[in-house]
Amino acid sequence: MFQPGLKGVVAVQTAIASVDGDLGELRYRGERIETVVRDKSFEETAYFLWFGQWPNAQQLTHLSKQLLSYRKLPTHIVEITKLLPKEISLMDAMRTLISAYPDTNFLTLSSQQQAIALTAALPVMTAAFYRFQHELEAVEPRDDLGHTANYLWMISRQQPSPVQTEALDTYLKLTMEHGMNASTFAARVTISTESDLVSAITSALGTMKGPLHGGAPSGVIDLLDTIKTEDRIVPVIEEKLNRGEKIMGFGHRIYRTEDPRSIILREKCLDLHGEDPWLDLAVAAEAVITDKLNERKPGRALYTNVEFYAAAIMRSIAMPTELFTPTFSSARIVGWTAHALEQQEHNVIFRPQSEYIKT
C-alpha cells in the first residue's frame, strides 16, 4: 500500500530507541529519557547508545581517552577547512569535511572506533570552520575539558561556566537519538548498501541540512527577542494570535502530549532559575502561551516542543544562530552511528517499491 513519505510504515526493528507520541515517551535502549539523562554525562550516554550498557569506571575512562585523541584533526582536514569558501553554510562545510575525513589511520579502525572518532571530530570541525568564516584564529582543543565544555571553548575561546556546560550537555543528551527520523533513515539506507560509515554520516548531514528536519529554532529566538521582558509576554502573544500567526516552539508532528525532552529542558531551566534571564523568560513565557493557546484553540493540545527550550538554552549560552543545527548534528551523530552499526549487524539493503502513475 502506498504511503506518502512512508508515513506509518515500519522499515526497521531496532533496540536503540523508541518514540511513543501518544504517551509522550522517549526511551533510549528501553530506559525512559528522564532516567537516562539524570546524572549522566555526554560520554556515558553515548556509550550507552553505542554498546547497550552503561560504562563502568574503566570503560568510561577508556572512552574519554579515545574521544580526546580524536579531537586532533588530520592535517589534510585542517587544510581543506581553509580552502572552503567562507560563504557556504556550516552544514555544507561539515558535510564536506566529514566526507574527506578518512586517512590511513582511520581506515584501520573498527566500525565502533570509527563511530567514536567521528563523534569526537565533528564538533571540532564545526568550531574550526565557524571561526574561519569569521576570520578568527583557530582554537586548539583542551584535554582538561569534557566533550561539551570543549565544544564551547573551541567556539568562543572562553572558559564555559558550569551553568553553560550543564545546560548544553542536557540538550545534547536529549537530542542524540529520536527513532527513525529522516537523517537516521538516510544513514541506515546508505550503510545498507555495504558502504562505509563516513558515507552514512555524510548522507545524514545532507538530510539534516533540510529545513523540514534540522531547521534551527530561530523562530523561537525571534519570539523571545520580541518579548524581551516578562511584562510584555501577554501583549506580544495576544497580538500574534489576533493576527493568526503561528507561535513558534509549540506543537510536534509525533508527540500528541508534551514532548518529554521539552519537560526535561524546562526542569533544567527551573533548576537554573536566577542564573540566566533568558531561561527565566522562557519558563514564564511558556506558562502564559500555553494558557492563551488553550483559550483560543481548545482541544488542540498544543504543548511546547524541544525547540522552544533548546532556543532558550542556546540563547542563554550566547550560541550564534548559525551554530544551532550544527550543534544538533554534533549530538545526533551518536544516534546516526549507533543505527549504522546496528544496520551492519543484521543488514538487508533497503529497496522499497515504487508505483507507476500515468501522467
Active site residues: 252, 307
**Strands of the chain, DSSP E:** 17-20, 25-28, 31-32
Q: Which of 119, 265, 132 is nearest to 204 (CA)?
A: 119
Query: What is the sign of the dihedral through the CA atoms of 59, 53, 340 and 46?
Result: negative
Decide if 310 contacts 265 (C-beta within 8 A). yes
How far apart, in Å, are the Cα atoms of 119 and each of 18, 192, 273, 336?
A: 22, 20, 31, 10
Integer Cα distance of 74 and 102 in angstroms:
9
Q: Which of 74, 70, 151, 153 is nearest to 337 (CA)?
A: 70
The three-class DSSP label of residue 350 is coil
Decide if 202 contacts 195 (C-beta within 8 A). no
Q: Longest Cα pair distance anywhere in the chain, in angstroms?
A: 63
Number of Cα atoms under 13 Å in the Cβ half of residue 338: 25
DSSP string of 186-214, one letter each residue? HHHHHHHTT--HHHHHHHHHHHHTSTTTS
> From the CB of residue 108, how many other CB atoms can be counted at a distance below 10 Å?
9
C-alpha cell at 163: 551553568
C-alpha cell at 144: 582538561
Q: Give all strands of the β-sheet with 25-28 in edge-to-edge order.
A: 17-20, 25-28, 31-32
